């Protein structure tokens, strides 16, 4: 009988080879058997040793396969002894995979819903975020990367606001997609609810940034929603929700009369209020300060003795204020009942109210004069955020002078007509405002009196450039944008950051919690 060949026993093999009772080549960091079978080796991953021990114990105490079915080898004549000898070896082998400890996501969240959210987030980061940084490309990385990152960190109201504006952008490309219509409304409603609840709890260092960004997206959404006014008006008429819902949202009254988009102004004023209420934290935020300082420098000329482009909007202001302080007759119309006389004698306004009214008109006209010089830089968008609360009250009272100023503001947006969320807004809104003067709302004399102040706004709103661009010739617009831009750069001025600092220091900014639009 020939002698047995000498061999070296494996005493330091991996635990998986030991459990299978096969020789381990002890190669590090992964033995040959584990490499051959494509399984992790405890040489390379020591953390799996407890799992292998538990699996080996379970397989010895209750032999079964990984699926929980007792192992029954297939019978073949002459192979009974082989199968019996190998049964225990196969049964004791640890499973190569384990069932997930929790229920799969696909059975708890509808696939269509997950796909829609993925579609919206992809569209936001790829397309939407670029459309509201067109005047400040340096902030694109903030809205594209930083803002979604903050949303994923636990800010639900910011997450829903992102999805809402993305849905609106997609709606502009697919206006007949009802899923996008529902999504744009549902996500914004959810964002507003969470945003309101967070404001009620209070602003602090942990939520100041996310609240500012959400407020900004809400203002953007309130502007963009106006683009779909006609489509939703037809939908509301078809569903029988026309009269009440659209009157509440400030679009069209029950009588079909044009209504001012107050939600737009309130949402922009909300951004200002949130900023003022949380400025002690925002002023040191690199994200917020970069967004704020990316805006064009605010340079208002409040000089009353120098002629300005929109100075005519202040003609006869002293007489109007004198009439407020000492009313000589009844109000011509009831502000809440268009076309219906209001025969009660008006109450004299207090000196404080008269002063605030004068300042509101003068400040609004100063903003128009500044924005008229550099509209291509996005300056007109500062109007709803920078006008005073008193000016918004004058709009709510339907004062003819305030509405004429509003028509000129909407006309300034013609310079931004190529932006999807502002496309067609100048024409639509200016015609709407002018229709109030050309109706029984103010009486037969209002149109002839105020037409000289509305003529420029109408001319710009109806103007069509030959090449289809948004650039309007200086002789039509009344100013050379690029020449005025260079002149303003030479004059300097306060950055938006400094402007907010001054307002907060003097106490002119509203510090109360803003009302959700």
pLDDT in tens, 419-450: 888 888 999 999 999 988 877 777 778 888 89
Report which of 397, 242, 418 is spatially closest to residue 333, judged by C-alpha positions. 397
Q: Answer whether residue 381 shows pLDDT above 50.
A: yes
pLDDT digits (tens, 9 = 90+) for 163-208: 999 999 999 888 888 899 999 999 999 999 999 999 999 999 999 9
Instruction: Average the pLDDT over 47-76 and give the result.
Output: 54
Q: Is residue 126 part of a domain?
A: yes
pLDDT per residue as tens digits for the range 449-506: 899 999 999 999 999 877 766 678 889 998 887 776 666 665 555 555 565 665 565 5
18-22, 64-68, 223-227, 320-324 — most confident range:
320-324
- Is residue 151 assigned to a domain? yes
Q: Kindly report the length of the chain.
A: 517
- Residue 229 belongs to what H/E stretch? helix 229-239
Q: pLDDT averaged over the chain?
A: 77
Q: How many whole angstroms from its chain centre is CA 354? A: 37
Residue identified by tokens 């009344």 is: 478
312 and 458 belong to one structural domain? yes
Question: For the chain, how many helices (H) and strands (E)?
Answer: 26, 0
The answer to whether residues 228 and 306 belong to one domain is no
User: Which of 218, 249, 267 is the last residue in one of the domains?
Assistant: 267
**320 and 261 fall within a common domain:** no
Q: Identify the sign of the CA torsion 120, 126, 132, 133.
A: positive
What local confidence, expressed as pLDDT, does residue 349 receive? 86
> What is the residue whose two structure tokens read 């636990």?
154
Q: Is the pLDDT of residue 342 over 50?
A: no
301-310, 337-346, 485-494: range with highest mean pLDDT: 301-310
204 inside domain: yes
Same domain, 310 and 445: yes
Lowest mean pLDDT among 90-99, 103-112, 140-149, 307-316: 90-99
- For residues 262 and 306, membership in a common domain is answered with no
Q: In the beta sheet, which residues pair with residue 345?
A: 330
Report the candidate in 474, 383, 487 with the shortest Cα–Cα distance to residue 429.
383
Cβ-contact 42, 14 below 8 angstroms: yes
CA distance 393 to 360: 10
Q: Which helix (H) or strand (E) holds 410?
A: helix 400-412
Number of alpha carbons in the 13 Å side-chain half-sphere of residue 70: 3
Structure tokens at 299: 């340079």
- For residue 100, being part of any structural domain is answered with no
Which residue in 158, 478, 465, 426 sits closest to 309, CA to CA? Answer: 478
CATH of the domain at 40: 4.10.240.10
The whole-angstrom separation of Cα 123 and Cα 112 is 16
Task: Clarify whether residues 174 and 308 are in a common domain.
Answer: no
Q: Is the pLDDT of residue 108 over 70?
A: no
483 and 387 both lie in a single domain: yes
Same domain for 175 and 26: no
Does 263 share its domain with 135? Answer: yes
DSSP letter, residue 306: S
* In a shared domain, residues 131 and 172: yes
Measured in whole angstroms, how far is the alpha carbon of residue 235 from the centre of its chain? 24
pLDDT on residue 340: 37
* Mean predicted confidence (pLDDT) in 325-330: 74
Q: What is the pLDDT of residue 53?
A: 72
Provide the pLDDT confidence category of residue 243 given band limits of 50, 70 and 90. very low
262 with 307, same domain: the answer is: no
Query: Does residue 73 fall inside a structural domain?
Result: no
Q: What are phi and psi of 333, to 5 degrees?
A: -140, 145
One domain, residues 26 and 160: no
Task: State the pTM of this model.
Answer: 0.70
Tell me how many domains the chain contains.
3
Instruction: Provide the token pair at 45.
Output: 């991953």
- Residue ranges making up the domain that contains 171: 111-233+257-267
Separation of alpha carbons 269 and 445, rounded Å: 34
305 in any annotated domain = yes
Q: Which of 5, 33, 50 is the last residue of a domain?
A: 50
Q: Look at residue 101 and tell me if it is in a domain.
A: no
Q: Does 228 reside within a domain? A: yes
pLDDT in tens, 34-46: 888 778 888 877 7
């Amino acid at each position: 009988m020939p002698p047995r060949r000498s061999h070296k026993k494996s005493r330091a093999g991996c635990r998986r080879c030991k459990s299978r009772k096969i020789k381990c080549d002890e190669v590090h960091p992964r033995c040959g058997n584990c490499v051959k079978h494509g399984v992790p080796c405890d040489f390379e991953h020591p953390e799996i040793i407890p799992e292998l021990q538990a699996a080996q114990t379970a397989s010895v105490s209750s032999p079964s396969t990984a699926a929980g079915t007792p192992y029954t080898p297939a019978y073949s004549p002459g192979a009974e002894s082989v199968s019996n000898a190998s049964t225990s070896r196969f049964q004791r082998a640890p499973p190569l995979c384990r069932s997930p400890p929790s229920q799969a996501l696909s059975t708890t969240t509808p696939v269509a819903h997950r796909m829609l959210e993925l579609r919206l987030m992809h569209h936001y980061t790829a397309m939407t975020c670029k459309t509201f940084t067109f005047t400040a490309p340096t902030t694109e990385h903030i809205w594209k990367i930083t803002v979604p990152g903050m949303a994923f960190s636990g800010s639900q109201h910011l997450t829903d606001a992102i999805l809402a504006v993305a849905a609106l952008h997609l709606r502009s490309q697919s206006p007949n997609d009802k899923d996008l219509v529902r999504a744009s409304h549902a996500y914004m409603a959810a964002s507003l609810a969470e945003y309101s609840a967070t404001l009620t709890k209070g602003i602090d260092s942990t939520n100041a940034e996310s609240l500012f960004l959400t407020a900004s997206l809400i203002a953007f959404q309130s502007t963009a929603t106006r683009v779909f006014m006609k489509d939703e008006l037809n939908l509301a008429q078809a569903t029988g929700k026309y009269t009440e819902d659209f009157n509440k949202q400030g679009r069209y009254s029950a009588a079909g009369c044009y209504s001012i988009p107050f939600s737009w102004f309130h949402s922009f004023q909300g951004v200002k209020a949130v900023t003022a209420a949380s400025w002690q934290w925002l002023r040191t935020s690199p994200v917020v300060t970069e967004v704020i300082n990316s805006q064009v420098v605010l340079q208002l000329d409040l000089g009353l003795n120098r002629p300005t482009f929109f100075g005519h909007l202040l003609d006869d202001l002293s007489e109007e204020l004198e009439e407020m302080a000492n009313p000589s007759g009844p109000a011509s119309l009831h502000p809440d009942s268009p076309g219906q006389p209001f025969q009660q004698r008006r109450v004299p306004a207090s000196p404080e109210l008269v002063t605030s009214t004068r300042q509101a008109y003068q400040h609004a006209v100063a903003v128009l004069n500044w924005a008229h010089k550099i509209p291509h830089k996005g300056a007109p968008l500062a109007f709803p955020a920078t006008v005073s609360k008193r000016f918004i009250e004058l709009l709510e009272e339907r004062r003819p002078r305030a509405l004429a100023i509003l028509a000129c503001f909407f006309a300034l947006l013609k310079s931004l007509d190529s932006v999807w969320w502002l496309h067609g807004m100048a024409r639509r809104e200016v015609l709407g405002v002018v229709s109030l003067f050309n109706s029984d709302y103010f009486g037969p004399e209002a149109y002839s009196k105020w037409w000289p102040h509305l003529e420029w706004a109408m001319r710009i709103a109806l103007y069509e450039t030959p090449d289809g661009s948004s650039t309007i010739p200086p002789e039509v617009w009344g100013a050379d944008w690029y020449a005025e831009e260079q002149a303003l750069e030479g004059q300097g001025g306060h950055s938006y950051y400094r402007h907010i600092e001054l307002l907060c220091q003097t106490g002119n900014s509203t510090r109360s919690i803003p009302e959700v639009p």
